[in-house]
């Protein structure tokens, strides 16, 4: 299973030399199964570059999932070029009870006067797929889901294939219960033994008290989760819009120091908008 990150920034795309290394594109994650199946989670601004890559490769079939529909997770959708190719077939999976009707939300975002092309005018074949059961299988990849602790709710995912696993929990506030969210222990169980946990780490602990209830975690909570769940590596994610590359380096260093205690120590890194993992 191959995991590629096309955007790791939270809230709003940012640009400038101070964001060079970690990147300014907002959430988009690509999972490729061993059989080449393409799974995409979220359509933040990073999905634009993914679309270009898929066109170069001639990929005509993919599955698209969403964690939730806040702007930073859908803003790239209208700029995903495969949508304008009639030979492309996209399965749009999700459960309305968890995240609302995604086709409806995307339809609202793509309508005058907000955007000149409507959702109905897209050339690709988009097939909504209601997935409300416990698990979903795509080729050899098993996908399970957990509710996020986040305003307006959302879904986190675990992808497993051939005994390897990656968990994607962005926009998840571990120290505050939002409607529909789960307990810390339930998130620990969901992440248990994962090879890679990608988790929201928008804040430093000292920044967090002013932002409590906004739907995001600080890196110490993410690190605690990684340690208790016994994951091999923690990938910090949903970088604060004002966190420069130097600020990100300091945050990662502090995460490593925080985790460096007796017992199991997960590796700590921060995702960039071009991170790749072969699991
Ligand atoms: Zn977000
Ligand atoms: Zn959000």
Residue extents of the structural domains in the chain: 2-278
Burial of 132 per CB tally in 10 Å (0-12, 13-18, 19+): exposed
The topology under which CATH files domain 2-278 is Metallo-beta-lactamase; Chain A (3.60.15)
Ligand 2 centre distance from Cα of residue 152 (Å)? 8
Phi and psi based region of residue 154 (left: phi greater than 0; alpha: psi -120 to 50; beta: remaining) = left
Average pLDDT of the residues of the chain:
96
Which of 142, 122, 144 has the alpha carbon at shortest distance from 133? 144
Task: Starting from the CA of residue 215, give the closest ligand.
Answer: 2
Token digits for 222?
């993410």
Ligand 2 centre distance from Cα of residue 35 (Å)? 31
Ligand 2 centre distance from Cα of residue 67 (Å)? 8
Instruction: Round to whole Å and give the CA distance between 206 and 72.
Output: 24
Ligand 2 centre distance from Cα of residue 73 (Å)? 7
Q: Which residues on neighbouring strands pair with residue 239, listed in sequence order?
A: 9
3-state secondary structure of 252: helix
- State the pTM of this model: 0.97
User: Residue 98 above 90 pLDDT?
Assistant: no
Instruction: Round to whole Å and give the CA distance between 213 and 216.
Output: 8
Ligand 2 centre distance from Cα of residue 69 (Å)? 7
Ligand 1 centre distance from Cα of residue 35 (Å)? 30
- What DSSP state is assigned to residue 163? T
Q: How confident is the model at residue 134 (pLDDT cuts 50, 70, 90)?
A: confident
**pLDDT tens digits, 19-65:** 999 999 999 999 999 999 999 999 999 999 999 999 999 999 999 99
User: Residue 245 above 80 pLDDT?
Assistant: yes
User: Residue 99 above 80 pLDDT?
Assistant: no
Per-residue model confidence (pLDDT) at position 101: 85
Q: Phi and psi at residue 260, in whole multiples of 5°?
A: -75, 70
Ligand 1 centre distance from Cα of residue 256 (Å)? 24
Per-residue model confidence (pLDDT) at position 33: 97
Per-residue model confidence (pLDDT) at position 232: 97
CB atoms within 10 A of CB 163: 7
Token digits for 187?
């998130």
Percent of the chain past pLDDT 90, that is, above it, reads 93
Ligand 1 centre distance from Cα of residue 78 (Å)? 18
Task: Starting from the CA of residue 238, give the closest ligand.
Answer: 1
Instruction: Quote the distance between the C-alpha of residue 252 and its chain's center.
Output: 19
Task: Starting from the CA of residue 26, give the closest ligand.
Answer: 1
CB atoms within 10 A of CB 184: 15
Task: Starting from the CA of residue 73, give the closest ligand.
Answer: 1
Ligand 2 centre distance from Cα of residue 192 (Å)? 24
CB atoms within 10 A of CB 49: 19
Please list, in sequence order, all residues whose beta carbon lies within 8 angstroms of the beta carbon of residue 212, skipping any fewer than 6 positions away: 175, 176
Ligand 2 centre distance from Cα of residue 98 (Å)? 13
CA-based end-to-end distance of the chain = 5
Q: How confident is the model at residue 264 (pLDDT cuts 50, 70, 90)?
A: confident
In Å, what is the CA distance from 150 to each residue of 70, 174, 200? 10, 9, 11
Per-residue model confidence (pLDDT) at position 240: 98
Per-chain residues with Cβ under 5 A from ion ligand 2? 70, 171
Q: Phi and psi at residue 159, in whole multiples of 5°?
A: -115, 130
Ligand 1 centre distance from Cα of residue 203 (Å)? 13
Ligand 2 centre distance from Cα of residue 53 (Å)? 26
Instruction: Round to whole Å and give the CA distance between 144 and 135.
Output: 5
Token digits for 67?
């964690």
């Amino acid at each position: 299973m191959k995991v590629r990150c096309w955007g790791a920034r939270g809230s709003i795309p940012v640009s400038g030399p101070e964001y060079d290394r970690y990147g300014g594109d907002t959430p988009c994650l690509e999972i490729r199964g061993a059989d080449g199946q393409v799974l995409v989670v979220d359509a933040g601004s990073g999905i634009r570059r993914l679309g270009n890559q898929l066109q170069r490769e001639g990929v005509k079939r993919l599955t698209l999932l969403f964690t939730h529909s806040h702007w930073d997770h859908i803003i790239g959708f209208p700029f995903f070029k495969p949508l304008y190719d009639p030979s492309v077939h996209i399965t749009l999976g999700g459960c309305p009870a968890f995240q609302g009707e995604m086709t409806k939300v995307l339809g609202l975002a793509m309508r005058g006067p907000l955007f000149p092309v409507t959702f109905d005018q897209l050339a690709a074949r988009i097939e909504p797929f209601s997935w409300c059961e416990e698990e979903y299988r795509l080729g050899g990849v098993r996908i399970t889901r957990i509710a996020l602790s986040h305003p307006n709710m959302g879904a986190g995912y675990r992808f497993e294939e051939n005994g390897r696993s990656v968990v994607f929990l962005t926009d998840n506030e571990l120290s505050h219960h939002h409607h529909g969210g789960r307990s810390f222990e339930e998130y620990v169980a969901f992440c248990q033994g994962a090879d890679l946990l990608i988790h929201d780490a928008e804040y430093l602990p000292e920044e967090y008290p002013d932002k409590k209830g906004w739907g995001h975690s600080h890196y110490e909570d993410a690190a605690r989760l990684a340690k208790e769940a016994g994951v091999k590596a923690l990938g910090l994610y949903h970088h604060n819009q004002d966190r420069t590359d130097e600020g990100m380096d300091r945050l990662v260093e502090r995460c490593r120091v925080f985790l460096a205690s007796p017992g199991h120590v997960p590796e700590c890194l921060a995702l960039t908008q071009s991170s790749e993992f072969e699991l």
